[in-house]
Structure 1
């Protein structure tokens, strides 16, 4: 270990903080207070004898959900400079303060970016912090309480914007398919079609995939829903476990009602030594890749995300290891397809003895906004420190399977003397044409039905005769067409489509 170059980036500390409204001593902390507590925990976790907080030169904040779309208003107010708000709570005054773009890939991608900065001598100590207090916002709102969480902090801020360009096709929005749950449902139904699996059987497969995740969450003190569930419980439709978008039941989708924060500290080996961080605390970064997918409808095959798979494969190649060498895995699990997309590509079974999550997964541990993968990395660090020869892989998904970052970690040293351990992959070029309006026939690729108080939104994604992608809705009151869709087997069927004013296509089965 003593031969490690001073410019080698290493993770020296990780921290998590959480609370649940029914916990004894629940404090209803603000997001900034939660994040500050996680950063404080990471500082303590490092074991540094020097003033590590004062040595932090870069702090990046992961966007909270409530500031992740243009024009959003935080109900209790917000910090004008989240990274500096976090820093103030531990006495850190960084040269750079960054607000990262939207997406669950953010924490993992930033590990690679900051590791590369450290290796190149542009930084010595960097922190990545994210926090969510959505559960507390809801809890206090029900009580009629409205605390003031606004903060005004002086200092520079590098706001990187939302990063939403090119993720979503406008025709999806026009047809009522703008939210993550129905969009991921389209992907999972496309996979179901390719596999020839019936609707009930597929729900059971999702239950079998996620039941082991819930068991991990049940043992995690930071989990939002620490209850082990059976595959049958997860797959069976009940009043409590209703369909939120076919084929998903409520218990099998990401849980965003959490109060969770996580922080990661990365330093150069030289500065870590100078600060008295014991070398047995260091975890090495063997590879990080970052990739972006085509828009939802442009993808040649809606059942998969080649960019995500390429991210994982490139990270393994850069680290010089195979998937079989990974002792610990955390595959991003906002929805089943995000897990199976990677598992299918690398031959990983749902019951792989390694397990597919380190936290308990987003439906059970909690979908801590854009910051989930920071929790996964924190758990990977904890595992690796107790298993010196092991490797861990963390996959981080953003958008609508739109962005993906992969990290590979180990206590084994990684040589950063070259420039080949952090890589942004090139964009894909092969894509389908997308057509907003269409009148004529088309063939169904996938579909979903989203129940609602004002009636269901039922939609298909289909291909025209010349291969263009379109979206079409069941007309309000058309019970016959809806009934056929509810049977769950519209794939490959021909539909008659007509374009209406207002940018919406309506269909019936031909």
Structure 2
């Protein structure tokens, strides 16, 4: 394979649009256009080169503002030849796109591609508050075609018990992780605060951060009027911030076409290693809740492809929707808990702002800037979609990878190692649960007034000694004293009885 087909990032662009007059809001397509034009400027080539694009892939926003966002972007740019596709929901999307089309470029199937996305939820919030209409529709009127299938991330069984909202699902992973470490509730609360304190330090130094404010561990971990619990043990300051107006874009091509277009050498960023993995689609069908085999496999495969190890990575951006996403990724990748290397280059989803499914586009753009500032250094980006469900990683550097010398850029087919993950044994799931049971993990959902409203848990039938005992989902009675106790005592391993009525399980203690 010719070196000329080595895939490279050549241009990145990011936009944070805050406080604009209501009569001048750009909307998602406008935000994307701004980021794309910045990416062309970053590459040192004019936006007229958009005519050479053969693919435009846009990451789906939470609220699609027009029937065919990719085609609308192409129309604005004059990219008439580009195949236009929409990437389905999932925070793994941007890194998945880089991985997939790096391979396509290396095989000569694509030559010049654009990835972009945006979220304008802050504009939506402001317009609704002002009683103003929201209409950002623009041509064409044809519906967008998806790049990949979009599976449902929760079953009816899960949804009926409250296992569908990220702010209530991730806390159950967190409590399982805490219990596995043997930490007390207060001790772990401060550990989460210290973890994200470091993220706020990066956000405070990042011009595009939505919340460029340094916060102490105590501020982050302690509930209060401005920092209520959402899904215990997470306070508001520990939750991803989606109500932003942000966008990002990436231009990717081959080294050969980059030279042909006149892209300066110092703009090139190489993908040394990458991997894509998945956990079982449904949260109720996971092997455990305190770790993540898919992240472990993803990290190993990406590092092996790059011919390096975790100790040689200089910069990280670990997906950070909630603390446990960072903690599990850090542990599975083999990064020591006391490692001095920052785990973000943006400030993370709660503080930089997470533009919906597109946050990792910002991560990759920021990582490109970071490795360019230190030529030869290596940066790792991880991405996560769903509920620790869909995973992707990329390892970046300004220099070509020595691991690819003599054989060109190629990666192992993700389906090969995914088969190993799919073969892992998981406990059976029972929908109508009856009898003695133990709590496997849980959370307490809080209302906006700061009061606990309900308990959600995963449990196992029996006495807790059989690792393959049937698993079930249940709620608790809406007893305020019980709900408070569940936030003050560790209920994992607590015994009780579960009963089913009206297609819902309730566990009583």
Q: Same fold (TM over 0.5)?
A: yes
Corresponding residue of 1:204: 190
Corresponding residue of 1:19: 17
Matched, 1:493 2:488: no
Q: CA, structure 1 residues 422+60, in 2 after alignment: closer, same or farther (shift >3 Å)? A: farther
Which structure 2 residues correspond to residues 118-157 of structure 1 after superposition, within 5 A?
A: 118-153=105-140, 157=144
Matched, 1:419 2:405: no
Deviations along 1:50-80, whole A, 9 cap, x unmatched? 942111110000000124xxxxxxxxxx222
Moved more, 306-315 or 322-331: 306-315
Corresponding residue of 2:297: 310
CA distance in 1, matches of 2:344, 2:8: 23
Corresponding residue of 1:296: 283
Matched, 1:234 2:241: no
CA distance in 2, matches of 1:460, 1:185: 10
Instruction: Give 1:26 deviation, angstroms.
Output: 9.3
CA distance in 2, matches of 1:197, 1:455: 23
Asked whether the 8 Å contact 2:314–2:379 carries over to 1, the reply is yes
Q: CA, structure 1 residues 172+140, in 2 after alignment: closer, same or farther (shift >3 Å)? A: same
How many positions carry a matched residue from both structures?
493
Which structure 2 residues correspond to residues 303-452 of structure 1 after superposition, within 5 A?
A: 303-414=290-401, 415=404, 417=408, 419-420=410-411, 423-424=414-415, 425-426=417-418, 427-429=421-423, 430-452=425-447
Higher helix residue share? 2
Moved beyond 4 Å, runs of 4+: 23-26, 154-157
Instruction: Give 1:8 deviation, angstroms.
Output: 1.2
CA distance in 2, matches of 1:235, 1:100: 35
Moved more, 421-430 or 266-275: 421-430
Asked whether the 8 Å contact 1:50–1:275 carries over to 2, the reply is no
Secondary structure of the structure 2 residue equivalent to 1:248: coil
Instruction: Give 1:420 deviation, angstroms.
Output: 2.1
Corresponding residue of 2:38: 41
Moved more, 438-447 or 415-424: 415-424
Q: CA, structure 1 residues 190+169, in 2 after alignment: closer, same or farther (shift >3 Å)? A: farther
Corresponding residue of 1:507: 507
Corresponding residue of 1:58: 55
Instruction: Give 1:172 deviation, angstroms.
Output: 2.2
CA distance in 1, matches of 2:398, 2:413: 18
Asked whether the 8 Å contact 2:47–2:77 carries over to 1, the reply is no
Among candidates 252, 256, 267, match of residue 266 of structure 1: 252
Q: CA, structure 1 residues 396+105, in 2 after alignment: closer, same or farther (shift >3 Å)? A: same
Corresponding residue of 1:464: 461
Instruction: Give 1:161 deviation, angstroms.
Output: 5.9
Moved more, 193-202 or 123-132: 193-202
In the superposition, the TM-score normalised over structure 2's length comes to 0.92
Deviations along 1:342-391, whole A, 9 cap, x unmatched? 21223424553220001000010011100011100001110111211111
Moved more, 480-489 or 228-237: 480-489
Asked whether the 8 Å contact 1:309–1:341 carries over to 2, the reply is no
Deviations along 1:411-443, whole A, 9 cap, x unmatched? 111337253267454142221211111110111
CA distance in 1, matches of 2:31, 2:16: 7
Any stretches of 5+ residues in structure 2 without a counterpart? 463-467
Q: CA, structure 1 residues 123+156, in 2 after alignment: closer, same or farther (shift >3 Å)? A: farther
CA distance in 1, matches of 2:195, 2:23: 33
Among candidates 6, 15, 19, match of residue 4 of structure 2: 6
Corresponding residue of 1:99: 86
Instruction: Give 1:156 deviation, angstroms.
Output: 8.7
Deviations along 1:2-56, whole A, 9 cap, x unmatched? x9722111100000111112x6999422000000100000011001269421111
Deviations along 1:106-148, whole A, 9 cap, x unmatched? 0001001111111111111000000000011001111111142
Q: CA, structure 1 residues 26+225, in 2 after alignment: closer, same or farther (shift >3 Å)? A: farther
Moved more, 142-151 or 313-322: 142-151
Moved more, 345-354 or 119-128: 345-354
Asked whether the 8 Å contact 2:452–2:484 carries over to 1, the reply is no
Among candidates 178, 182, 189, match of residue 192 of structure 1: 178
Asked whether the 8 Å contact 2:67–2:142 carries over to 1, the reply is no
CA distance in 2, matches of 1:138, 1:49: 34
Corresponding residue of 1:70: none
CA distance in 2, matches of 1:163, 1:400: 15
Q: CA, structure 1 residues 217+421, in 2 after alignment: closer, same or farther (shift >3 Å)? A: farther
Q: CA, structure 1 residues 93+155, in 2 after alignment: closer, same or farther (shift >3 Å)? A: farther
